[in-house]
Amino acid sequence: MMDRYTKLQMAGIYFCVAIFLIFMLLPFFEMFMASLRPLEHLFRSPYQFWSTDFSFDAYSKMWETVPLLGRYIFNSIFIAFSVTAITMVFVVPAAYAYARLKFPFKNASLAIFLGVNMFTGAVLLIPLYRVLRSMGLLNTYWAMIVPGVAFLIPTGIWLLRSYLEKIPLELEEAAFVDGASRMYTLRRVVLPLAVPGLIVVGVAVFIGAYAQQFLFAITFNQTRELQPLPAGLYEFIGYQSVTWNEMMAAALVGVLPVMVIFLFLQKYLVAGLTAGAVKE
């Protein structure tokens, strides 16, 4: 009876995972199919999900339609990496302080930080614009990096703090007995054990930084050469027509580096979760 219940349970799990994957991957598959169709065939009636008139012309023509496409892809990756690096510099010591130190309003301040994330970037665009203008950061990379860091730090602190709290406190106390300082203990004892957590937080911050570029770019930056890919895709929209197949091709090419990075880090993440296990 138990074996039958277990099989039904596993079948239900596999079914739910399959449905989830279909809904997650189907839009990407449709983007790929649209990038292969000629523009005049995209809006056929009735709609054809599968067609035989495939061509990779859009992947070559998109570089001619938007000559700065390569620069836009580079900008997106550069901004995302910059936001991730700066965010992690602030997140690591802050998360460690929330995990180990005792200070007034500790939980209340963390709740306030997380509460800020409940507001979307659109709500704070006007005050952010005034702050960036007063600092002279408009129309620069910093105009997109600084807001990204500000919005992602609370999430990074919350995620990493939960992981650091699981590291046995006895390991740090042993380092203190040997005369190690707090910062030395963090650098030599805590961080090596927290590598899986750092990877998780880093990936989450990178994806968040890559996803939120559009709103900040069209609001805080008017320099064409500094635009990230989400804003650069607007150049496929002409006065009389939209080259949807080339836009889909450019979007897929822009997402490809992120997917490669994520898959590469995912392998190390699984290895780190196994190697980083600590027995209390």
Q: Is 68-275 a domain of CATH 1.10.3720.10? A: yes
pLDDT score of 127 more than 80:
yes
Residues 29-51: pLDDT tens digits?
888 888 888 877 777 777 666 66
Output the pTM of the full model.
0.84
CA atoms within 13 A on the CB side of 89: 8
Top mean-pLDDT range of 7-21, 131-145, 249-263: 131-145
How large a percentage of the chain has pLDDT more than 70? 91
**pLDDT, mean of residues 148-166:** 88
Domain boundaries, the chain: 1-37, 68-275
Measured distance CA(276)–CA(279) in Å, rounded: 10
Residues 91-107: pLDDT tens digits?
999 999 988 888 888 88
pLDDT of residue 267: 66
Top mean-pLDDT range of 111-115, 129-133, 265-269: 129-133
Residues 180-191: pLDDT tens digits?
888 888 888 888
pLDDT of residue 269: 61
| pLDDT-derived band at 227, boundaries 50, 70, 90 | very high
Q: What is the mean pLDDT of the chain?
A: 83
**pLDDT, mean of residues 122-132:** 88
Evaluate whether 36 touches 55 at the Cβ level (below 8 Å): yes
Kindly compute the dihedral angle of the four CA atoms of residues 252, 253, 257, 263, in this order, to the nearest 10 degrees: 40
